[in-house]
Structures are given as C-alpha cells and as structure tokens.
Structure 1
Amino acid sequence: MKSQYSEIEGKNIHSDTIWKNKSFIYIWLGTIIYDLTFHIYILAIPLIIYEISQSTLAMSTMRALDFAPNVILGIFIGVIVDRTNRKNFMRYSILLQVILLISLVFLLENSTPSLWMIYIIGFLVSAFGYSFWNGFHSSLPQIVKKEQLTTANSAISFVYQIINIIGPGLAGVLLFTLSYSYGLVVTIIGLCIMVLLISLTQVEENHLQRNKDIETKPFWDDIKEGWIEVKQNSKLFSMTITILCLNIASGISSAVLIFYALDQFKLTSNQLGIVIASSAIGGIVAALIAKKSREILGRGKLIIIAIYIGSFGQFLLFISSHWIILMAGMILIGFCSVFINVHYQTLRQESTPAHLLGRVSGTTSMLMKIATPISFIGAGLLGERIDVCWIFLISSIIMILLTGVLVRYKVFKFA
C-alpha cells in the first residue's frame, strides 16, 4: 500500500536539515539522557538476580520477561498509540517507569526483594518502556520529513551506540562504588529529564484527524486493520519474518551471555560493562554507513551480509578463551543488530501511513519477538545441562542457515 503521509505544516518540520528542527533536537537529546541513565537499571537487574540465585534459568527468565510485553501487549499498545495523543502517551509511559523504579529502590533499601517481586517490576518497566518506544517511532514521521527518516534513524542509532559504549562502563563504575539503590536514583532522574524534553517537543497529531470515529470504532477492527496493512506490505512482512528468525538465534545467545561472562571469566561489574559496551563499537560503524550502503545495494542483500557478520560474531563467543575475544564477538554482533535495525525502522516508517504506524509497529514487533521469550527460557534450561559456550555455536549455525533460506527464496531481490 502506498504511504499516505499528510503534509505537515511548520517551520521546524520543513527545515532543510533535521539539525534545524528544534522538536527533533529536543527528543533526540531526551533519548540520549534516557538511554545513558537507563543502562544503570539494565546492568543492575541481572547483577541483583545473580546475587540472589546464581542461576542461568533465573537470569534468562528475567530476559524473557523483558521481551514478553512486546509479544503479549504489542498489538494492543499499538492501537492505543494510534488512538491517543502520542506526545502524552510517551510522557505517561515514562512517568509510570519512574513510579516502578521508585518502588524498586524502596524494596532494596528495606529488604532483600524476592525474585517474583523483581520479575513483576521488571516486566512492567519493560512494558512501559516498549510503550514509550512505540510512541516515539510512530511520532518520528510527524517530527521530520519523510526523506529525512533514514538520516534521523541513523542519527538516533549512532548516538545510541555511543551511549552503549559509555553507558555500561559508567553504570558498572556507579554500581561498583554506590549501592544499587543510589544507582537507580540516577536512572529516575534521567527519566524525569526525558519527560521534560518530550513536553518541549512539537508532535503533529494529524493521524487523529484521519480517524474521526476513533472513539466508536471497535478495538478489534483497529487490530485487524494493522494486521492487513502488514500483510499487504510484502517488503515489510518478509523482513519482519527474517528478523523473527534472527531474534531466535540471537536470543538464545544473549540470554546466557552475562551469566557466561560472570561465571566463566569471573568479571567485575566494570569489566562486564566494557564487554556489553563493546557491541556499540560495531553499532557505531553500522549507523555511520547505513545510509550510504542503501545507495550501493538493496536492503535484502545488505541484511544477508549483516547476518553473516553476526554469525561470525557468535562463533567468536563460542571459541573465546579470554574476555577480550568476547568483546570482538560483541562488536560484530552489535554491527549486525544496528545495521538491520536502521534499515528496518526506516522501511517501516517510509512505507506505512502515519495513522497506522502505531498498529503496524505493534504488530510487527509482536511477530519479530514472539519466539524470543521462549528462546530465553530455553537457553536458560539448556545452560543448566550443557556448557554454555555451545549455545553460542548453536546461535551461529542458526544464523548461517537463515541466510541460506533468504538466498534460496531470493529475498534480496524484493527487499
């Protein structure tokens, strides 16, 4: 279906460059602060669980719960995003995360929380985090022009990867020198700043005007409309299924990575932060070349090349005898992930009508990640029975087989 973007009025929107667009700068800066401080929470949760349980299953279960909201709630959140004011939706999502993190700090300060308490809070934090990012990506076409979307997504991904280098290391230092509670307070402050910057951002809500019967239209009709849009868009649908398979492969690996690093190499929180951050080096390279690469090859061929690179990264994790080799593997995996993400996000935003973006984002997100929680739990159970390093080899083999399927069915010719 041909995209039906509305003309967006306003000086900021029609500036020649996104760097003259104040609204984009506000929300771009907000994501920087959000990502930077949220790394403290991301690193703290598995460390807390490891101290309580020292179990691969317990840690992989938390990873599964991080992705569960995308699968269980993705479509419903997408409909709500399309039915409401996206700017307010983003603000309320983050404010609810703030309330949850305050609750977690209270628990840590007054007792040792049980695993089920951490699981509940972690699930809800992930749910509202997904809600925010759905609203964010759905709002981007109402903040920048269509032809600027690749540049905007590349800029966002580039800074995100820079933060992925700085963030885990900084988080590791803070958690090493401070308590978990004080570290999480820094995250809370960062989220509050994000809320302020969203308030300064102008988001054109033209999608609401196109759905004048939005309040009376059956909820399930909206879900069906989003699904039909995804099915009609053959390029988007084929790439969504490709990423679903890729997420299964990478999911079983990432579920056990932190446990493997802590258990096999006895890393400190600082060293663990460095290993996790190393994936961002590859991500930075991917963000820098994403736009230029599209001018040279089609998206399908680029995706296949990126998966090959990611497969080799997984193989390096398998043969690693030192945590430096872990870093090398993470660099290649980071490149694969970010490169594919930039092209996928841009394709989805370019080819989807603005008033359907929330639903399409929710539907595709559910499809891409539907098997990921199962992969995480499966990896945790498998890690209890075999040497964890073999899971990385399994992941590498799955990715190689995936590229074979893509070539066999000539995905590169139409994607």
Structure 2
Amino acid sequence: MLNSKNIWLNNKFYTFALGYLFQSLSQSLYFIAFPLFIYDKTNSALSMSAMAVAETVTQIALGPFIGTIIDRFKRKRVIVIGLILQITLLLFILVLLELNILETWMIFVIGSLVAGLQATVKNAQFTIIPQVFPDQKLEADAGITSIHTATLMFGGAISGLIIALISPIYSFLIVVIMLLITLITQSKLVIPDLIVSKKKNNFLKDTKDGFDYIFKNKNLIILIVIFSLSNLADNGIAPVLLFHLKNNLLLSDQQVGITMSVAGVGLFIGSVIASKLKKTSAGNLIFYFILVNNIGLTLFLLPGWWPILVGQFVFHFGGIVANIAKSVIIQTIVPNELLGRVSGTMRILDQGTQPISLALLGGVAASNGAYMSFVVMFCLTIISTFVLFLSSIRRLDLSVNKQSL
C-alpha cells in the first residue's frame, strides 16, 4: 500500500523505519558500551569525558562538510557507505584488541571517526524524507521521532542487559549486527534522483553556498533565533531539575527516576500526536507547542512534586512537536540540493547551544538556586515565543510544497 494515508502502512516508510529502529538501538548500545570500554581500557574517568568531547567536537567541526558531501553525491550511497564504514571501524577495534596492539590514541581516532559517520548517516536520512515522502513529510518526521524517543525510553534498559551478559567490548558485535540490519533495509530504499544543475563548484565553494543560503533566508534566520533561545532554555534543564528534586524537594531516588522518565513519555506521545496535525500550518504548530512548552516550564515554579511531574510531561510534549514542525519547515523551504548543507549547519547551531545552556543554567542554579534557573529558562522561552509571534514563520503552510523566500 504505497500511497496509504497512514504512513505506517506505506511499504517504503516501513522499510526505512525498520532500519532506523535498529540504527537507534545500535547507537543506544554503543553510547553506553563505548565509554565503559574506554574506562576498562584506561581506568580513567578523564579519558571517558575526553572521548565524549572529541565526539562532539568532531560532529560540530565536520557538520558543514558532511552536508556538502550529502548534497554532492547520491544520498542512498552516502548512507550505505557510512554504515559500512561504521561496521568496519567497530570490527577493526576488535581485531586490534585481539592482536593486543590497541592503543588509547587509536580508540580516540576511531571513536571520533564513528561519531562523524553517525552524524553523516543521520543527516543523509533527514534529507531523503522530502524525496521519498514528499506529501507526508510531517508524518514521516513524526514517525522517525517516535522511534527515536521509544529507544530513549527502552534502549538503555536493553543495552544494560546486553552489556551485563556479554561485556562492553563484545557488545560491539551486537552493534555490528544491528548496523548490518540497518544497512540491508536502507539498501532496499528507492530514492528518486535529484534534478540539479550540472555545473560543479569546488568543495569549499559548495560548503560556503550552504552558509550563504541560510544567512540570506529570512525564515531560516528566524528559526535559528527562535530555537537557539529555546535550546538555551531546554538543553541544560536535566541537571538543574535533578538538583532541585534532590536538594530542594528532598525526593527519593525512586521519585527522581519516575520524574525523569516522564519526560520520555511526553516525547513519545508528542511525536505520535504530531503526525495527526497536518491541517495546522507548521509555523502555528511551533507557536502553539512552544506555548505548551512554556506552560510546562511554569509548572516547575510551583511548590511540590506533582506540579514538577506534570510539568515534565507538558514541557517535553510541547518541545518535541515544535521541533518536528521545525524539521518539516526546513525540508519544505530549502531546495533539496542544498538540504544537506543547510540541515548540517543548523544541527551545529543546535549542538553548540548545549554547553552554553549547561554552563548558564548550572551557574545560575549554583549561585542563586534552581528556582532562579527556572525563571531564566522561562524568560528565554518567552522571548523566543514573542519573536515567533511577530514573525512570518506562522504563515508558512505545510500544504505548500515549496515556500517562496
């Protein structure tokens, strides 16, 4: 049923989603097993932290160039090669370990390469959605997000069980098997070729064109401002909330665990609900659900545990729908031949706000308490909501295939 209105009954999407599920599960296992492997090898918490920094820096530094690669070559080929290289590197670690010649610097190099390849595959998958599902972008984005949030909710438990049974290093074999399943399913996708100009610029000029397009596009600039402010408020919330729950509310570990897990429920339900909202313009979806996000944040300011519990659900429910709508806007207004570069650059901007948010909100919480951090978050989201209310983004309509700039 290739043309079914229900995206989950679309054979192409089912194939794509199945591969994405195993890819997400593989990354969930890798993100736990790899740091544990580094610790077993080095007996150093500093090495674990340094590897995490190296992975993030690699993804940020390579982001624009990854986008250029995706836009210059067939995207299915980029996905397939990216998956093959990940599998090869993980098997290479096992071979080096078996030969007893694996050095710490080798682990850092291979880990950084794997991080770059993971970012490449995810960016390429983002760019093929408007090619493969041009009339169901919202449903496809929401479906993929629901898979991602489901693996956030359950992937940790599955990964912990696997690692407990067979050790961190040999968990890499399970990661390889999952990536092989992803490779098989993604290889079966039929992706229409892009119709682009035959004129070829040099690689750096193509990369610069991506930046130029973003900064000449008013709608993309507005999205960057809105979500940079929103991400500054959102990305640092987890440690502040944990501090508030333990230090101010004196909750038990069980209550803290329940509170944090409610976020995953909100994310999952939000991703499911988003696919039902196609009749609402994408800009209004962002506006309405950032307002919902703000309501959740307001509940954090109320005394007691129950407002926090409800606020966690509402906060993450609103945030995920707004982010799905943002993805659809980007896929709609950006020419497909530039989508890799634009999405790669905007992902960098999203990632770049995380350390700033953690430092800002953590610093405020340390000096003035968690409630003041919540106030700062609320002010940032109110500003982003006000900018969105005054902008042209709200008039962008999902029913239009390409928006005029």
Matched-pair contact (CA < 8 Å) for 2:286–2:326? no
User: 1:233 aligned to 2:217?
Assistant: yes
**Do structure 1's residue 223 and structure 2's residue 207 form an aligned pair?**
yes
| Structure 1: distance between partners of 2:360 and 2:31 | 20
Once the 2 structures are TM-superposed, how far is the Cα of residue 223 of structure 1 from its aligned partner? 2.4
Distance, in Å, in 2 between the alignment partners of 1:120 and 1:258 is: 33
Letter in 2 for 1:169: A
By how many angstroms is 1:364 displaced? 1.6
Q: TM-score, normalised by structure 2?
A: 0.77
- What's 2:380 paired with? 402
Aligned-pair distance for 1:164?
2.2
Q: Aligned partners of 2:321 and 2:312: how far apart in 1?
A: 14
Matches within 5 A, 1:111-122: 118-122=107-111
Partners of 2:162 and 2:169 in 1: how far apart?
A: 11
CA distance in 2, matches of 1:177, 1:290: 38
Is the aligned partner of 1:359 residue 2:337? no
What does residue range 50-199 of structure 1 map to in structure 2 within 5 Å?
52-54=43-45, 59=49, 61-105=50-94, 118-144=107-133, 146-199=134-187
Structure 2: distance between partners of 1:394 and 1:109: 52
What is the number of residues matched between the two proteins?
385
Q: Does the 8 Å CA contact 1:38/1:190 hold for their aligned counterparts?
A: no
- 166-175 or 86-95, which deviates more: 166-175
Aligned to 1:341: 323
Identify if the C-alpha distance between structure 1 residues 275 and 87 changes in structure 2 by more than 3 Å, giving closer, same or farther.
Answer: farther
Q: CA deviation at 1:396?
A: 3.5
- The structure-2 alpha-carbon separation of the partners of 1:65 and 1:162, relative to structure 1 and needing over 3 Å to count, comes to same
CA pair 45-223 structure 1, distance change in 2 beyond 3 A = same
What's the CA shift string for 1:278-330, capped at 9, x where partnerless? 543111111122244564681342342254256469x59xx999xx9998776
Q: 2:208 and 2:5 mapped to 1: Cα distance?
A: 37
Cα distance change, pair 237–32 in 1 and its aligned pair in 2 (3 A): same
TM-score between the two structures when normalised by the length of structure 1? 0.76
2:15 aligned partner, one-letter code: Y
Deviation at 1:393, TM superposition (A): 5.9
Matched residue, 1:4 = none
CA contact (8 A) 1:166 1:277 kept: no
Of 38, 42, 61, which residue of structure 1 is paired with 2:31? 42
Percent identical among aligned pairs is 25
Q: 1:34 to 1:409 in 2, by over 3 A?
A: closer
Structure 1 counterpart of 2:345, which letter?
T
SS in 1 for 2:198: coil
- The 1-side partners of 2:309 and 2:105 are apart by 32
Q: Give the drift of 1:196.
A: 1.0
Residue by residue over 1:51-80, the C-alpha shift from the partner in whole angstroms, topping out at 9 and shown as x without a partner, is 73456x953x54444432342111111111
Q: For the structure 1 residues 409 and 381, does the alpha-carbon distance in structure 2 shift closer, same or farther, using more than 3 Å as the test? A: closer
SS at match of 1:181: coil
Q: How does 1:231-310 map to 2 (within 5 A)?
A: 231-253=215-237, 279-293=263-277, 295=279, 298-308=284-294
2:325 counterpart letter in structure 1: H
Aligned with 1:200 (options 149, 170, 188): 188
Task: Compute the displacement of 1:105 (Å).
Answer: 4.2
Unaligned runs of 5+ in 2: 394-405
Using the TM superposition, give the Cα deviation of residue 336 of structure 1 relative to its aligned residue in structure 2, in angstroms: 4.7
The alpha-carbon distance between structure 1 residues 407 and 281, as it changes in their structure 2 partners (threshold 3 A), is closer
Aligned-residue offset at 1:177: 2.9
Match of 1:370 among 337, 345, 352: 352
- Is the Cα contact below 8 Å between 1:236 and 1:347 reproduced in 2? no
CA contact (8 A) 1:63 1:255 kept: no
- Write the distance in 2 (CA, Å) between the matches of 1:173 and 1:79: 39
What is the distance in 2 between the residues matched to 1:336 and 1:116? 42
CA–CA separation in structure 1 for the residues paired with 2:172 and 2:253: 22
Work out the CA distance in 2 between the residues paired with 1:122 and 1:80: 20
Residue 148 and residue 40 in structure 1: after superposition, are their counterparts in 2 closer, same or farther (change >3 A)?
A: same
Structure 1: gaps of 5 or more residues: 1-10
1:303 and 1:115 mapped to 2: Cα distance? 45
**SS of equivalent to 1:370:** helix
Structure 2 counterpart SS, 1:132: helix
How big is the alpha-carbon RMSD for the aligned residues of Structure 1 and Structure 2?
Answer: 4.3
Code of the aligned partner of 2:118: G
CA contact (8 A) 2:26 2:175 kept: yes
Q: Quick one: structure 1 residues 93 and 179, their matched pair in 2 at CA, closer, same or farther if it must change by over 3 Å?
A: same
Whole-angstrom distance in 1 between the partners of 2:159 and 2:259: 12
The structure-2 alpha-carbon separation of the partners of 1:311 and 1:150, relative to structure 1 and needing over 3 Å to count, comes to: same
DSSP 3-state at the match of 1:206? coil
- Give CA-to-partner distance per residue, 1:176-234, whole Å, 9 cap, x none: 23311232211111011111111111111124xx12123xx122332233223323433
Task: Work out the CA distance in 2 between the residues paired with 1:112 and 1:357.
Answer: 41
